[in-house]
Amino acid sequence: MSYLVLARKWRPKAFSELVGQEHVVRAISNALDSGRVHHAFLFTGTRGVGKTTIARLLAKALNCDSGVSAQPCGTCSACREIDEGRFVDLIEVDAASRTKVEDTRELLENVQYAPSRGRYKVYLIDEVHMLSGHSFNAFLKTLEEPPPHVKFLLATTDPQKLPITVVSRCLQFHLKRLPIGQITDRLSHILGAEGVSTEPAALPLIARAADGSLRDALSLLDQALVFGGGRVGEADVRSMLGTIDRTHVARLVESVAAGDATAMLETIHSLDDQAPDYDQVLVELSSLLQRIALEQVVAGSATESGHDPEVVARLAGKLAADEIQLYYQMAILGRRDLGLAPDPRTGFEMTMLRLLAFRPVAPGGEPTKAAAPTTSITSPPSRPAPVRAVPNPGASAVAPPVGANAGGLPLSGEAWIALVASLGLTGGAQQLAANCTWSGVSGSTLLLRLDTGKEGLHTAQMEERLQSALQQRFGAMVRLSIEHRVGGEVAASDTPAQREAEAQAARLAQAQAALSADPNVIGLGRRFGAKVVTETVKPNH
């Protein structure tokens, strides 16, 4: 006896059996019950979410012997034939294999004829975006004004490729990706009906791997049943999918929280024995960090995930919120860099070493402490905690400006002007620095005064960027203090911007003089009366 795969065996036979597409079912049911059924429907969405299934159910509702309604009987000959795929008036077309305009014309030649068996002749065109441009053109008129006995049901995974002229002639319904919880519940229901034993932790793994597609989930469930010899176990599913035991990821985070590089490398070595996909390991690491961050904001939220709530709660008490945010960013960026590494394990190890090397520190130099989990989001501090400075390989090659103190901070206006030119600032931060004069140095604080009329340049964001550039050059303890000139005070030519303006004016005057003395220009003036338009002269450097 042939085996019927779960995806076909458990295909919904009624709208009430559909999973996760309530918005589509409601609209179609109302249309059927009220008699306001459009002649063309367009179903869009990713693979395996029910596009073709809903189209077949709609065809059944239109042709049921008991009448048009949202609850077809399911027992009449028309309903049974549609379920079995042999109803003569349901014409299913795979557009991917019939892309030519000749195929479309041949299909439309039969549209004018009345249905042979049912109430309506229903054309179900799957992957309709695969039709050629000429095919769409041949199809448009019939799609807009079909005979009263014809309904068109179009399905596609890529609606962006459809001509707007086709979309505008249809009622469009977008089918959503199914959440992990709904897929898990459906798998559990099916296994219960099939009498198959399963471990509860195995089904969320399959649901997550299905990526929103119930059909993919059922195909994976079929594979898991074969792999596990008729039983669905967590270890078998992990081995089949290539996923890892989450205890390894938890141990990695534990070692990072403790700053224990030895324990971290031992865990990676143990993990490597399983030949894991290191990109998937970073996905699991990011997922755990995200759950820890949620636990710190709303205690108990980890119970909604597949992670052990006790582990999440324990790690939430060991790590500070800013550490979690930094580690999460490093983990997701590590995925991007993994393909550039000499090999995946090397790339993964370097990502984990970054988590150890870069840790937020309090102003006193001590690592930040984890905050106790709360039930509400608290306001962040007015200024972020500084980050431990990382040695800049290029910084040592740049000599401090003339007139700088032992720590490198400028001790004169000339030294400040030279420093601004070497910081490599851009945008608003560069404009802010260029319009400040050196005022002094107090300990590790650089004192500046903003030029009159330039107050609009001084924002918290630009000051923070300027201070960050100074910290990268001189160390994390460097601070910045900017005061504004008092009203009426006249500034001297002592800002980098004013100095650059003076140099620019000098270069312009030199260029104008050189042009006026040029023999060719003089000759043109004498012969044709030409004059130099000085406003258009620009220096070439």
What's at 373, amino acid-wise?
P
Q: The domain spanning residue 75 has which CATH number? A: 3.40.50.300
Higher pLDDT, 538 or 427: 427
* Pair 278, 330 in one domain: yes
Please indicate, yes or no, if residue 55 is contained in any of the structural domains: yes
Work out the pLDDT band at 368, boundaries 50, 70, 90: low
Position 369 pLDDT exceeds 70: no
Position 473 pLDDT exceeds 90: no
Position 470 pLDDT exceeds 80: yes
CA-to-CA distance for 367 and 353, rounded, in angstroms? Answer: 17
Question: CA geometry: angle at 498 spanning 470 and 481, to 5°?
Answer: 35
CA-to-CA distance for 439 and 410, rounded, in angstroms? Answer: 10
* Pair 454, 479 in one domain: yes
Q: The domain spanning residue 221 has which CATH number? A: 1.10.8.60
Query: Do 202 and 232 form a contact (C-beta atoms < 8 A)?
Result: yes
Percent of the chain with pLDDT over 70: 87
CA-to-CA distance for 72 and 230, rounded, in angstroms? Answer: 35
Across 394-415, average pLDDT: 58
Query: Do 178 and 218 form a contact (C-beta atoms < 8 A)?
Result: no
First to last CA, the chain: 86
* Pair 233, 260 in one domain: no
For residue 178, the model assigns a pLDDT of: 92
Higher pLDDT, 56 or 390: 56
Please indicate, yes or no, if residue 147 is contained in any of the structural domains: yes
CA-to-CA distance for 336 and 344, rounded, in angstroms? Answer: 12
Please indicate, yes or no, if residue 296 is contained in any of the structural domains: yes
* Pair 46, 146 in one domain: yes
Query: In the chain, how many H helices and how many E strands?
Result: 22, 8
Query: Do 539 and 508 form a contact (C-beta atoms < 8 A)?
Result: yes
Please indicate, yes or no, if residue 219 is contained in any of the structural domains: yes
Across 148-157, average pLDDT: 94
- Lowest mean pLDDT across 63-77, 80-94, 349-363, 465-479: 349-363
* Pair 36, 135 in one domain: yes
For residue 173, the model assigns a pLDDT of: 95
For residue 472, the model assigns a pLDDT of: 85
* Pair 64, 158 in one domain: yes
* Pair 79, 160 in one domain: yes
Please indicate, yes or no, if residue 464 is contained in any of the structural domains: yes
How many domains does the chain contain in total?
5
Percent of the chain with pLDDT over 90: 35
For residue 4, the model assigns a pLDDT of: 87
Across 195-213, average pLDDT: 89
Q: 235-260 pLDDT, tens per residue?
A: 888 888 877 777 888 999 999 988 88
Highest mean pLDDT among 34-43, 276-285, 412-421: 34-43
Q: Which of 241, 262, 286 is the last residue of a domain?
A: 241
Please indicate, yes or no, if residue 372 is contained in any of the structural domains: no
Work out the pLDDT band at 508, boundaries 50, 70, 90: confident
Q: Which of 241, 267, 291 is the last residue of a domain?
A: 241
Q: The domain spanning residue 444 has which CATH number? A: 3.30.300.150
* Pair 439, 505 in one domain: no
Please indicate, yes or no, if residue 276 is contained in any of the structural domains: yes
Please indicate, yes or no, if residue 541 is contained in any of the structural domains: no
**Residues spanned by the domain of 522:** 497-536
The edge-to-edge listing of strands for the beta sheet with 445-450 is: 436-442, 445-450, 479-484
Higher pLDDT, 456 or 385: 456
Sequence-ordered list of residues with C-beta below 8 angstroms from that of 413, at least 6 positions apart, any chain: 437, 438, 494
**What is the secondary structure of 424-483 as a DSSP string?**
---HHHHHHHHTEEEEEEETTEEEEEEPTT-GGG--HHHHHHHHHHHHHHH-TT-EEEEE
Work out the pLDDT band at 487, boundaries 50, 70, 90: low
Position 540 pLDDT exceeds 50: yes
CA-to-CA distance for 245 and 453, rounded, in angstroms? Answer: 62
* Pair 257, 232 in one domain: no
Q: The domain spanning residue 295 has which CATH number? A: 1.20.272.10
SS3 assignment, position 90 = strand
Structure tokens at 491: 């500034």
* Pair 47, 144 in one domain: yes
For residue 381, the model assigns a pLDDT of: 41
Q: 49-71 pLDDT, tens per residue?
A: 999 999 999 999 999 999 999 99
Phi then psi for residue 388, to 5 deg, are -55, 130
Q: 297-325 pLDDT, tens per residue?
A: 887 765 555 677 888 888 888 888 888 99
Which residues lie across from 42 on neighbouring strands? Answer: 154, 172
* Pair 436, 518 in one domain: no
Query: Do 61 and 68 form a contact (C-beta atoms < 8 A)?
Result: yes
Work out the pLDDT band at 409, boundaries 50, 70, 90: confident
* Pair 66, 165 in one domain: yes
Phi then psi for residue 150, to 5 deg, are -120, 135
The full length of the chain comes to 541
